Structure 1
Amino acid sequence: MNSSLLDLLRGGGYILYVRHGEATVGVDQPYLNFQYCFTQRNLSELGRRQAIYYGEILRNLRIPIGYPILTSPFCRTIETAQLAFGRENVQIDPFWIEIYRLSGYLSGGEQRRILDIFRSRLEIKLPLGSNRVIIAHSFPDGIGLGQIPNMGTVVVNPRGQGNGFEIVHRLSLADFASLLS
C-alpha cells in the first residue's frame, strides 16, 4: 500500500469491509444458533491475535474509524470486532448473515436479491473524517467482493445511492502491517 492510499483513508469517507480473523477448522453446525457459539466455527488463537493486531494497526496508522463497527451475528465476527475496537463499539447487523448464505445453495433470484441489498449498502456516502468498518464474511469467487483472506480488507469508495461503489484497494493484514515499519 502506498502513502496516497493511507492519505485517502486518513481523510475518511470509505468503507472497510473486513473478513473476520482465522476461525477454527470445521463447519458451522446444521442447527447453528447465534446465541450459542459452540454451534459455530469460532476464532482460533491466531484469529484472536489477528483481530487485536488489526485494531492496533489502524490506531497506529491514525486511520479514523466511525462507530459503531457493524458485524454479522456470528460469534467469530463479533469477537473479531470486539477485540479490534472494543466491546462497546460493536453493533450486530443481521443483514451480514446474507453474505455468509451466498456460499450455500441459493436460487439465482435469491442471490441477486442479496447482492442488490449489499450494493445499496455500499453505495451510501459517508462523511469525510471517518471510515465505516464492517466485519463479516468472504464471498464466493467472482461474486460481490470475491474471496477475502482472514482479516483481509476491501477498501470501498461509496459513490452515492444508485451510483454504485468502487473497490479502491484490497489489503491483507500483512499489507497493513508493512506500513508500520
Structure 2
Amino acid sequence: MNAALPAADHDADGWQPLPRRARALFLLGGLGFALPAALVPLLLAGALDLAGPGRYALAGALLGAAFGVWRGDRAWRYTHWRLDADGFSLRRGRLWRAETRVPQSRVQHLDLRRGPLQRRYGLATLVIHTAGTRHSAVAVPCLDAADAERLRDRLARQRDEDDDDDAPA
C-alpha cells in the first residue's frame, strides 16, 4: 500500500480516493455539457421560429453547466484506485460501477501525463499500457503527482521483478 497517504484517506480494503484538489478539474471538465445544452434549445427555437431564441440558449447553457458540474463532482467523488500485490485496480461510479483490474503480469509500460492545469494543481494522469489488444491502456486521471510517480515506479519494479523470476537459471 502507499505508506505516504494517511490512513483516513483510504478505506479498509485499501481503495484510495482522488485528491481533493482534483475536484476542480472534474468540475471544469463537466462544464463541457454547457455548449451542447445551449445549442439544442437554440436550434429548436430557431426551427420552431420562437421569439427570443437567445433566452432558450442561455437557459440550456445554465442547465447544461449545472448538470455538468454535478456530474463532474460525482465522477470525482466515486473514482478510487488500489494497488496491491496482484496489480492495479480502478473503480468508477456508484450506481453503475465499473471496476478495471490490471494484473501486474499484463503491464507493458507506464506513462505519466501532466497538462498545464494538472501541473498547476500538482496532479498527473497515470497511463498503464497493457498486453493484449492494440490501444489497451488504463488511464487514471488527476492523481496526486507524487502518488502517480510512486505508482509508476512500483508497478515498473513489480514488472521487473516478475521478469527476473521468469528468467532461466
Give the TM-score of the pair, scaled to structure 1. Answer: 0.26
The structure with the larger Rg is 2
- Greater strand percent: which structure? 2
* Bigger helix share: 2
TM-score by length of 2: 0.27
